[in-house]
């Protein structure tokens, strides 16, 4: 796809990331788009997974569109319930395989979509529509990436484009350094606690400040991914030397490096000093009920889940292994470790993490969304309590509607698995 070069817009000092990327990519536009305006964006990539894809396939059939716009840009990912937990799920997976075969689109099984795309396909400046709310993860490398539903995905498959509204932007200034036991997940939990579940609704969040350069790609992906829990449309880290180094190492070339202007207008600005953060835990029911770990320490748990698109990367598993090494999971507690991709799974085996998990008594599963979505590999029964590194603690999310889910970093979840109750990870680091 040829994309127009618009140095005038890229260099405009008054525009946010969202204004710039939408303006340079918007169809037929020769103008700068400002918040609230609606325009049409051509997609570079479209992704659907096994809980949104089957409905999109059905809708695509109902529309009666004979073929997809560009099979090479369409990814179907079987990740949420992989491998199929039962016959009903298996039949929906078949629908995806059949569609992939018929239309020649890309099919991936057994890696979480966001992680798979980040590892293999996403580049800075691209436009990604994903039928999954956590698609915004790809903002971690400066892509325009946002979640949509199944019918809109079918329309993207048909036309290769979609309407978008230019969002207002929020700016978060990160300073300082992490203290022991505090991670990217604690930063984003803290932010969600600060702004609330809808504090980023319709907004583009820009993560800035001197502390960003020390954040790994995985940590940025965690923050961009979990930003969805305050409703955002985009959650962005601009390209910096670390991003450039990452793309050199994987041999992929950025489309655009979009940097917000220093005089860009933000709806709100926030400061987070990393030194002041402690391990955070969100209490059951709402993702914005965020407390310091001390406030909920000692709460008995039945299960600890370490994984998901938010926190199932290698660096997450490494921290969990560091906490679990030489310890046993509490006898009344299940601990489930689920990598986010096949690559993470292989690396965890190769580097000896799998052995640590197994020796501690944890269950180490294949790569999948797994327990996060309450359909296999760790479903909660009535009144059970879980601490989880996954993104959501909503009623019924991981199983019974009477079950309770606390959210935390992988380190806090791992420490809690050892004690059988919510525990401060700093004792184990």
Partner 1 sequence: MTGPNILKGRTWVWPDDVNTDIIIPFRFKARTNDPVEMAKYCMYGFDPEFYKKVRPGDLFVAGKNFGGGSSREQAPVAIKYSNVVAVVAESFARIFYRNCFAIGLPALEVPGISKQVKQFDEIEVNLQDWSVKTRDGGAHPALKVPEFLRGLMLEGGLVEFYKKHKSFLWEKLEAVPA
Q: Is 418 exposed, middle or buried (0-12, 13-18, 19+ CB in 10 A)?
A: buried
Asked if 426 touches partner 1 (CB under 8 A), the answer is no
Instruction: Select from 81-89, 245-253, 272-280, 335-343 the region that touches partner 1 (CB under 8 A).
Output: 81-89
Instruction: By CB under 8 A, tell whether 36 contacts partner 1.
Output: yes
What is the phi/psi pair of residue 242, to 5°? -65, -40
Q: Token digits for 239?
A: 């390209």
Which range in 291-299, 304-312, 315-323, 374-382 contacts partner 1 by CB under 8 A? 374-382
DSSP 8-state assignment for residue 178: P
Closer Cβ to partner 1, 133 or 408, answer by number: 133
What residues have CB less than 8 Å from 42, skipping those under 6 apart? Answer: 1, 25, 27, 127, 160, 161
Token pair belonging to 267: 């709806």
By beta-carbon proximity to partner 1, the closer residue of 279 and 307 is 307
114 binds partner 1 (CB under 8 A): no
Which of 132, 206, 238, 315 touches partner 1 by CB under 8 A? 132
34 is a contact residue toward partner 1 (CB under 8 A): yes
Interface size with partner 1, residues (CB under 8 A):
69
Residue found under tokens 């000093």: 273
Question: What is d(CA 62, CA 346) in angstroms, rounded to the nearest whole number?
Answer: 40
Q: How far is the CB of 135 from partner 1 (least distance, A)?
A: 8
- Rounded CA separation 374/1 (Å): 39
50 lies in the binding site for partner 1 (CB under 8 A): yes
Interface residue with partner 1 among 62, 269, 273, 275 (CB under 8 A) is 62
* Whole-number Å distance between alpha carbons of 38 and 407: 36
**Is residue 205 a contact point for partner 1 (CB under 8 A)?**
no
Q: Which of 145, 168, 119, 169 minimizes the C-alpha distance to 43?
A: 145
CB of 112 to partner 1, least distance (A): 14
Residues between 148 and 187 with contacts to partner 1, criterion CB under 8 A? 148-152, 154-155, 158-159, 161-163, 166
| Dist. CA 5–CA 3, nearest whole Å | 6
Show the tokens assigned to 289: 């009920």
Binding test (CB under 8 A) with partner 1, winner from 8, 86, 269, 295 = 86
Nearer to partner 1, 181 or 374 (CB): 374
How far is residue 337's CA from residue 329's CA, in Å, rounded to a whole number?
12
What's the token pair of residue 15? Answer: 């525009």
CB of 203 to partner 1, least distance (A): 9
Confirm or reject binding of residue 321 to partner 1 (CB under 8 A).
no
Least Å distance between CB 121 and partner 1? 19
Residues 279-318 that bind partner 1 (CB under 8 A): 286
Interface region with partner 1, contact rule CB under 8 A, candidates 28-36, 69-77, 118-126, 181-189: 28-36
Residue with tokens 């030397």: 241
Measured distance CA(417)–CA(305) in Å, rounded: 9
Residues in the chain: 429
Q: Compare residues 19 and 316 and give the one whose CB is closer to partner 1.
A: 19
Residue 92, H or E segment: helix 87-103
Q: Is the peptide bond before 358 cis (omega within 30 degrees of 0)?
A: no
Question: What residues line the site for partner 1 (CB under 8 A)?
Answer: 26-29, 31, 33-40, 50-52, 54-55, 58-59, 62-65, 80-81, 86, 88-89, 92, 95, 130-133, 135, 147-152, 154-155, 158-159, 161-163, 166, 197-198, 201-202, 229, 231, 233, 286, 373-375, 379, 392, 394-397, 399, 401
């Amino acid at each position: 796809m040829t994309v127009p070069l618009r140095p005038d817009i890229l260099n405009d000092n008054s525009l946010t990331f969202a204004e710039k990327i939408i303006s340079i990519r918007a169809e037929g536009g020769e103008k700068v788009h400002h918040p609230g305006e609606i325009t049409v964006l051509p997609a570079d990539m479209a992704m659907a997974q096994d809980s949104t894809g089957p409905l999109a396939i059905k809708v695509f059939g109902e529309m009666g569109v004979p073929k997809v716009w560009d099979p090479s840009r369409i990814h179907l990912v079987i990740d949420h319930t992989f491998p199929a937990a039962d016959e009903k799920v298996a039949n929906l997976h078949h629908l995806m395989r059949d569609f992939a075969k018929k239309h020649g689109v890309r099919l991936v099984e057994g890696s979480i979509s966001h992680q798979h795309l980040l590892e293999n396909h996403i580049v800075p400046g691209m436009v990604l529509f994903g039928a999954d709310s956590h698609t915004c993860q790809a903002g971690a490398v400066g892509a325009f990436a946002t979640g949509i539903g199944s019918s809109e995905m079918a329309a993207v498959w048909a036309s290769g484009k979609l309407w978008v509204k230019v969002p207002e932007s929020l700016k978060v200034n990160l300073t300082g350094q992490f203290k022991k036991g505090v991670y990217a997940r604690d930063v984003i939990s803290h932010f969600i606690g600060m702004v609330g579940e809808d504090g980023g609704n319709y907004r583009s969040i820009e993560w800035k400040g001197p502390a960003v350069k020390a954040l790994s790609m995985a940590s940025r992906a965690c923050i961009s991914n979990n930003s969805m829990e305050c409703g955002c449309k985009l959650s962005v880290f601009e390209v910096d030397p670390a991003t450039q180094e990452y793309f050199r190492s994987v041999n992929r070339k950025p489309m655009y490096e979009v940097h917000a202007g220093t005089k860009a207008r933000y709806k709100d600005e926030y400061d987070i000093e990393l030194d002041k953060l402690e391990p955070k835990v969100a209490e059951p029911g709402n993702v914005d009920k965020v407390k310091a770990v001390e406030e909920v320490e000692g709460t008995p748990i039945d299960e600890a889940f370490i994984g998901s698109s938010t926190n199932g990367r290698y660096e997450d598993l490494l921290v969990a292994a560091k906490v679990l090494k030489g310890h046993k999971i509490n006898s009344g507690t299940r601990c489930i470790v689920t990598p986010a991709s096949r690559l993470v799974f292989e690396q965890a085996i190769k580097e000896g993490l799998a052995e640590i998990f197994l020796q501690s008594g944890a269950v180490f599963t294949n790569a999948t969304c797994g327990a996060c979505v309450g359909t296999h590999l760790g479903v909660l029964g009535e009144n059970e309590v879980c601490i989880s590194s996954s993104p959501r603690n909503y009623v019924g999310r991981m199983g019974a509607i009477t079950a309770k889910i606390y959210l935390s970093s992988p380190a806090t979840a791992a420490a809690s698995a050892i004690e059988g109750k919510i525990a401060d990870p700093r004792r184990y680091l």
